[in-house]
């Protein structure tokens, strides 16, 4: 028994390793990053020509003014108007809310990175349920999804062909694709995903005060923040939130309360109510929290974990025995919360690309129907 506990302690210590983000970003071998590709991807990211009704862009729910996330619990894509928390449905009871909280795109270039700074960009886990790998694959999924960008006028099997037809009819896009992709037929769905992924891979914030601290500047964070860092590790948060991105990229069953805006229970990964550990970087920009945005503040998140550690399950659909064993081992108290939240602030970094294109080649409203 003692040996088993010792092995468990060593395993948790290994999991608790955190470090600064790498200074450089890796790209897949079949999609090297170039300035031209990033520039093309940026235009596509802001252009609603990619959506079925040509009124929703990637930037509609992932805008730089919101840290490339959105200040909403769950988003309104198709059938919406307005920006961020002020966005509303044009036609009630037509197309529903997006199913889950919008991840920030910041630092998704590092998805899948472990505590040894190793990762494979072509195998990087994406979305709350990890259903696709790589930014290249992720970039196309919202276009195909009914409530995100596709809408009702095109079936899922046809929407990408329609988007490519539109892009081929815009001379500026044809020229830009030809410059970036030296193929006989450069305007393809695969190259569309590659261009958007290249732009998303450029959105990194790897010089937070925590990064500076881990690289040797011991004055980059305050004494209170250092105390919060030690508490963060001591109470067990780092069992799942580890590595440079403060995520083990694994699926965990937490029993988060359901969001009443959704018309059905979200059963997550493999119908097990499991969801991927999110990064803790840039939490300032990513409220509200959890896969359905049901917890509105960092304090409410820590209170939720305290409840779990005390045997209080907030989701009746998830049996107690199904809750992840790691979160049951948390030992967080009310007095720990303020220092830990203080530490979280060291992971914020607002030095990212905030420039919004003045126009996009389609001539449509930049960022979709957000005004």
pLDDT band at 92 (very low <50, low <70, confident <90, very high): confident
Query: Residue 161 has which token pair?
Result: 């062909």
Domain ranges in the chain are 2-20+206-347, 35-201
**Prediction pTM value:** 0.94
Q: d(Cα 84, Cα 276) in Å, to the nearest integer?
A: 24
- Please give the full DSSP string across 134-160, using - where no structure is assigned: SHHHHTTHHHH-IIIII-SSS-HHHHH
Who wins on pLDDT, 17 or 287?
A: 287
Query: Residue 177 has which token pair?
Result: 């694709």
Is 61 known to sit in a ligand binding site? yes
Task: Supply angle C-alpha 314, 337, 224, rounded to 5.
Answer: 165
35-201 classified as CATH 1.10.540.10: no
* Nearest residue to 248 (alpha-carbon basis) of 21, 15, 26: 15
Task: Render pLDDT for 13-66 as a digit per residue (tens, 0 to 9).
Answer: 444 589 999 999 999 999 999 999 999 999 999 999 999 999 999 999 999 999
Q: CB-hemisphere CA count at 13 Å for 365?
A: 13
Is 62 known to sit in a ligand binding site? yes
Is 153 known to sit in a ligand binding site? no
Is 58 known to sit in a ligand binding site? yes
Q: d(Cα 92, Cα 151) in Å, to the nearest integer?
A: 14
pLDDT band at 310 (very low <50, low <70, confident <90, very high): confident
Is the pLDDT confidence value at 338 over 50?
yes
Predicted local distance difference test score (pLDDT) of residue 15: 45
Predicted local distance difference test score (pLDDT) of residue 72: 96
Is 237 known to sit in a ligand binding site? yes
Is the pLDDT confidence value at 11 over 50?
no
- Please give the full DSSP string across 34-98, using - where no structure is assigned: -HHHHHHHHHHHH-GGGSTTS-B-HHHHSBGGGTTB-SSSS---TTEESSGGG-EESSTTSS---
CATH architecture of 2-20+206-347: Orthogonal Bundle (1.10)
Task: Render pLDDT for 237-272 as a digit per residue (tens, 0 to 9).
Answer: 999 999 999 999 999 999 999 999 998 899 999 999
Task: Render pLDDT for 174-189 as a digit per residue (tens, 0 to 9).
Answer: 999 999 999 899 999 9
Domains 2-20+206-347 and 35-201 equal at CATH topology level: yes
Q: d(Cα 191, Cα 39) in Å, to the nearest integer?
A: 14
Calculate mean pLDDT across residues 121-145.
Answer: 98
Query: Residue 107 has which token pair?
Result: 């630092």
Mean pLDDT (the chain, rounded): 94
Who wins on pLDDT, 111 or 325?
A: 111
Is the pLDDT confidence value at 293 over 90?
yes
């Amino acid at each position: 028994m003692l040996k088993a506990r010792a092995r468990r302690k060593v395993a948790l210590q290994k999991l608790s390793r955190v470090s600064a983000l790498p200074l450089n970003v890796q790209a897949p071998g079949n999609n090297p990053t170039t300035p031209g590709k990033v520039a093309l991807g940026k235009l596509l990211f802001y252009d609603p020509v990619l959506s079925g009704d040509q009124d929703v862009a990637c930037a509609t729910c992932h805008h730089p003014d919101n840290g490339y996330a959105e200040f909403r619990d769950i988003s309104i894509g198709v059938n919406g108007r307005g920006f961020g928390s002020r966005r509303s449905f044009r036609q009630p009871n037509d197309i529903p809310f997006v199913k889950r909280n919008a991840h920030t795109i910041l630092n998704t270039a590092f998805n899948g990175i472990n505590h040894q700074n190793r990762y494979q960009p072509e195998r990087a886990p994406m979305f709350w349920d990890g259903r696709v790998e790589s930014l290249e694959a992720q970039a196309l999924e919202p276009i195909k999804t009914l409530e995100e960008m596709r809408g009702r006028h095109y079936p899922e099997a046809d929407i990408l062909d329609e988007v490519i037809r539109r892009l081929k009819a815009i001379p500026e896009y044809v020229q830009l694709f030809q410059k970036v992709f030296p193929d006989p037929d450069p305007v393809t769905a695969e190259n569309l995903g590659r261009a958007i992924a290249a732009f998303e891979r450029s959105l990194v914030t790897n010089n937070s005060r925590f990064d500076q601290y881990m690289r040797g500047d011991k004055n980059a964070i305050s004494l209170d923040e250092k105390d919060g860092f030690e508490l963060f590790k001591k109470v067990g948060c780092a069992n799942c939130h580890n590595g440079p991105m403060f995520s083990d990229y694994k699926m965990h069953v937490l029993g988060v309360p359901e969001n009443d805006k959704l018309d059905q229970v979200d059963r997550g990964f493999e119908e097990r109510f499991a969801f991927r550990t999110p990064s803790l970087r840039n939490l300032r920009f990513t409220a509200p929290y959890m896969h359905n945005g049901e917890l509105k503040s960092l304090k409410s998140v820590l209170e939720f974990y305290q409840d779990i550690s005390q045997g209080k399950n907030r989701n009746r659909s998830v049996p107690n025995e199904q809750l992840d064993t790691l979160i049951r081992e948390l030992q967080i108290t009310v007095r720990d919360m303020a220092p830990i939240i203080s530490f979280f602030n060291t992971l914020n970094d607002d030095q990212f690309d905030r420039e919004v294109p003045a126009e996009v080649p389609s001539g449509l409203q930049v960022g979709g129907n957000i005004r």
